[in-house]
Amino acid sequence: MAEVARATRGARRPGSGLLGSVPLGRRNLFEDRRRAALSCVGVGAGLLLALLMAGVFGGLNRQESAYMDRNPADVVVSQEGVRTMQLSISALPPETTAAVAAVPGVAWVEPLRQMTSTVSVGDTKLVAYVFGVDGGTGAGGDGSAGAAGVAEADGAAGVAGAAGRGGPGEVVEGAPAGPGEVVLDAGGAAQLGVGVGDEVEVFGVERRVAGLSEGLTSVACTSVFLSAEDFAAGAGPGLNYVLVGSDGSSSPEVLADAVNVDVPGAKVQTAEAFSAEEAALVRDMYAELFTTMRVLGFVIALALVSLTLSSITTAKRREYGIVAALGATPGRLAAVVASQAAWAVLAATAVAVLAALGLGAVIDRSLPNIELVLGPRDVLVTLLGAVLVGIPAALVPLRSVLAVDPATAFRSR
């Protein structure tokens, strides 16, 4: 009764605002701890679904653009009309590397072979992006790993190349691959159950795993790196992409324009634009699915918030009658219901965020091909979605509260 009295006194003070009704709304929601816990878990589960879908979608975007994001190239040259590596086949004339190297402002070029194939162990197969890297398969961060020398994979001898710059970025375990060897991404290695020193089949040939890279396995595929010579032996000669480094005299955009003028018949993009195209392709393929799943999560939350508030209203009908009998206005009663909805969605959002962080750690350890990427924006969007869910969820119990007869307070139970 003390809580009811406080809420009623708040109702009689002009301009006292929502805060006067918050204690009653909060008490109604959390008085029955078991019901409150079930409500938070249930509503939180719906919001967790929305958060997880946002995290998985963000992870897919990061995974599919990871190779180019960590590559030191400033410009990427591909076949005309080809904007990505995903779901694409690019073929360039052998002389493209030399033509690009002759453009003013180019510091280095790296011919790159790439195609989608498989890597397998016994009957277990994974789809893989297979890269044939000139000069070895060492770290691609600064070109220091791998054999130094001349880029000759396209037959253009004498063109200065940056050995290994088309590689995985970093070999986290083992060593760069030599002849008959590969660098396999750790995520793919975990799925295949192999490690450094084991053998995998690429292009129909058993090859020793010399080293492991990291962060280049996605839900759809993994990544394998081998020498350009081994790639050519397994897939035939050719050239798919040319990676280009600037000498710093111009921006990547200006350099890309210069290459585009001097090398007609090719698609020339900055590395940043190429990476953005990779991420855009992921959005085009999966955005509708993940948006639908997020909406489903909010619908579940809406239903459970409405159910929770309706059950509280039914259980507390007599208390609402007392508040109404003591002079609470319809606006004050509505504020009580609104505060209940606010507490419900805030508590559920907190539960969902904590659960998502915990699940992210579990997924990272147990499912190396799935990456959960959640940022402040995702949490904010989920919170705003939860608030929007709480508004219609409060309407049904609000009608019941406003329809309460004050005489209810004086009837025996």
Backbone angles phi, psi at 269, to 5 degrees: -135, 155
As a whole number of angstroms, the distance between CA 256 and CA 388 comes to: 46
pLDDT digits (tens, 9 = 90+) for 92-140: 999 999 999 999 999 999 999 999 999 999 999 999 999 998 864 444 4
As a whole number of angstroms, the distance between CA 112 and CA 303 comes to: 53
SS3 116: strand
pLDDT digits (tens, 9 = 90+) for 336-362: 778 888 888 888 999 999 999 999 889
Residue 16 banded pLDDT, cuts 50, 70, 90: very low
- Only one residue has tokens 């208390």, namely 319
Task: Tell me the CA end-to-end span of the chain in Å, nearest whole number.
Answer: 16
The reply to whether the predicted model has a pTM over 0.85 is: no
The answer to whether 100 and 110 are in contact (CB under 8 A) is: no
Q: 338-341, long-range: CB within 8 Å, 24+ apart, which pairs?
A: 338/18, 338/25, 338/394, 339/18, 339/21, 339/22, 339/24, 339/25, 339/26, 340/25, 340/26, 340/28, 340/29, 340/309, 340/312, 340/394, 340/397, 341/305, 341/309, 341/390, 341/391, 341/393, 341/394
As a whole number of angstroms, the distance between CA 307 and CA 348 comes to: 14
- Where in the chain are the domains? 2-64+282-410, 81-264
Q: What is the arithmetic mean of pLDDT over 381-398? A: 85
Closest C-alpha among 3, 4, 2, 30 to residue 325: 4
Could you list the beta-strand ranges (E) of 151-236: 173-174, 181-185, 199-202, 205-213, 222-227
Closest C-alpha among 210, 176, 169, 214 to residue 69: 169
- Give the CA-trace dihedral at 385, 387, 389, 390, to 10 degrees: 170
What is the model's pLDDT at position 372?
87
Look at residue 157 and tell me whether its pLDDT is greater than 90: no
Identify how many contiguous H helices and E strands the chain contains and give both numbers. Answer: 13, 10
Query: Assign residue 241 a region: left if phi > 0, alpha if psi is -120 to 50, beta otherwise?
Result: beta
Backbone angles phi, psi at 382, to 5 degrees: -65, -40
SS3 70: helix
Of all residues in the chain, what percent carry a pLDDT higher than 70? Answer: 80
Closest C-alpha among 307, 322, 329 to residue 396: 307
Distance, C-alpha 62 to centroid of its chain:
6
Helices (DSSP H) in 225-329: which residue ranges? 228-235, 252-262, 271-315, 317-325
As to burial, measured by CB atoms within 10 angstroms (0-12 exposed, 13-18 middle, 19+ buried), residue 240 is buried
Look at residue 1 and tell me whether its pLDDT is greater than 70: no
Instruction: Please report how the helices 376-393 and 33-64 are oriented relative to each other, as an axis angle in degrees rounded to 10.
Output: 140
Look at residue 158 and tell me whether its pLDDT is greater than 60: no
SS3 352: helix
Look at residue 193 and tell me whether its pLDDT is greater than 90: yes
Backbone angles phi, psi at 347, to 5 degrees: -65, -40
As a whole number of angstroms, the distance between CA 161 and CA 203 comes to: 26
Closest C-alpha among 126, 120, 100, 90 to residue 204: 120
What is the model's pLDDT at position 389?
84
pLDDT digits (tens, 9 = 90+) for 298-333: 999 888 888 887 777 777 666 766 776 777 777 777
As a whole number of angstroms, the distance between CA 9 and CA 88 comes to: 70
As to burial, measured by CB atoms within 10 angstroms (0-12 exposed, 13-18 middle, 19+ buried), residue 376 is exposed
Full DSSP string of 22-48: HHHHHHHHHSSHHHHHHHHHHHHHHHH
pLDDT digits (tens, 9 = 90+) for 217-266: 988 899 999 999 999 999 998 999 999 999 999 999 999 999 999 998 89
